């Protein structure tokens, strides 16, 4: 089984509120169907989630009643994105079912507490592709919080021990420096504990759910349970399919130990 996250930066335009990249998703779905693997799919919220969530500071939980309208709006918007994703998957020949975190998950102090993994298992057994996504969910301490796609990836990887865990991003992988600013930045093909600790932590945090470093820590825990954890550029045709087929692709593979 393969566990794939389609990042919000790949399937939406992250700076333009509620802008869906349908052609990119259709192509990625074609790659997924051609690879013919059993899959659980997670997608990010992109501009359907982060913009309004940041305006209402939803990532810190309840502080003010005025946030509740923001909670409802983000839930509505991410469901709308998810429905768009689901339609492309079904049309592309991958029968899929949506499992919205607001209905099947809850947090405690921002950490994923409950997730109904049994539901994922049973839909998989039925031959369907379970789909879940970054969402606002209830939090037992903070009343509500943001459950990111990465938190879901970690829990699902722990439960299902997939052959490969693939994060589709809008960049080739992890670089030695910010490639947009530094022409000497190099792609790190294998990210170990040492390389991660040595990376310059100067990057801004654009998302309510954290930076690339949080993602890499998550990937490192996933890698420690066996299987490959890879981050690759979903914007480049063919890379996701190659990774699903088990081929070596341009990207960064995260390993739990030292190299
Ligand atoms: O895009 C964030 O999930 P992510 C979810 O996977 C919301 O980080 C609602 C902003």
Q: What is the CATH number of the domain that holds 166?
A: 3.40.1160.10
Alpha helical stretches, state H, the chain: 8-11, 22-35, 50-55, 67-91, 101-104, 117-125, 149-160, 193-198, 212-224, 239-244
- Ligand 1 pocket, 136 CB below 6 A? yes
Domain that holds residue 103: 2-254
Asked if residues 153 and 162 have their Cβ atoms less than 8 Å apart, the reply is no
What is the reported pTM? Answer: 0.96
Counting every residue written for the chain, the total comes to 259
The alpha carbon torsion through 205, 68, 153, 219 (nearest 10 deg) reads 20
Q: How far is CA 52 from the centre of its chain?
A: 18
Cβ–Cβ under 8 Å, residues 230 and 249: yes
Q: What is the pLDDT along the chain (259 residues), one digit of tens a residue?
A: 999 999 999 999 999 999 999 999 999 999 999 999 999 999 999 999 999 999 999 999 999 999 999 999 999 999 999 999 999 999 999 999 999 999 999 999 999 999 999 999 999 999 999 999 999 999 999 999 999 999 999 999 999 999 999 999 999 999 998 888 889 999 999 999 898 888 877 655 557 887 788 889 999 999 998 878 999 999 999 999 999 999 999 999 999 876 6
Residue 259 lies in a domain: no
Number of separate helices (H) and strands (E) present in the chain: 10, 12
Residue nearest to atom 7 of ligand 1 (CA): 49
Total tally of structural domains belonging to the chain: 1
Rounded Cα–Cα distance for residues 79 and 113 (Å): 21
Look at residue 95 and tell me if it is in a domain.
yes
How far is ligand 1, taken at its centre, from the CA of residue 43, in Å? 8
150 CA closest ligand 1 atom index: 6
């Amino acid at each position: 089984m393969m566990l794939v996250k389609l990042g919000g930066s790949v399937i939406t335009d992250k700076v333009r509120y509620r802008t869906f990249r349908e052609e990119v998703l259709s192509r990625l779905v074609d790659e997924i169907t051609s690879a013919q693997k059993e899959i659980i799919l997670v997608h990010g919220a992109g501009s359907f989630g982060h913009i309004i969530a940041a305006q209402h500071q939803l990532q810190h939980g309840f502080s003010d009643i005025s946030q509740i309208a923001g909670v409802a709006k983000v839930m509505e918007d991410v469901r709308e994105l998810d429905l768009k994703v689901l339609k492309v998957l079904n049309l592309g020949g991958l029968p899929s079912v949506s499992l919205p975190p607001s209905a099947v998950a809850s947090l405690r102090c921002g950490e994923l507490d409950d997730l109904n993994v049994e539901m994922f298992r049973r839909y998989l057994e039925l031959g369907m592709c379970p789909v879940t996504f970054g969402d606002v969910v209830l939090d037992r301490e903070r009343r509500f919080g943001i459950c990111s796609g990465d938190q879901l990836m970690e829990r699902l990887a722990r439960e299902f021990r997939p052959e490969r865990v693939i994060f589709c991003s809008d960049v080739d992988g992890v670089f030695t420096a910010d490639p947009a600013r530094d022409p000497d930045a190099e792609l790190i093909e294998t990210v170990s504990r040492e390389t991660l600790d040595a990376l310059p932590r100067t990057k801004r945090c654009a998302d309510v759910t954290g930076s690339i470093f949080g993602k890499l820590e998550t990937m490192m825990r996933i890698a420690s349970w066996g299987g490959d954890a890879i981050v690759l550029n979903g914007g480049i045709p063919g890379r996701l399919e190659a990774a699903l087929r088990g081929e070596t692709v341009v990207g960064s593979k995260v390993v739990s130990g030292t190299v």
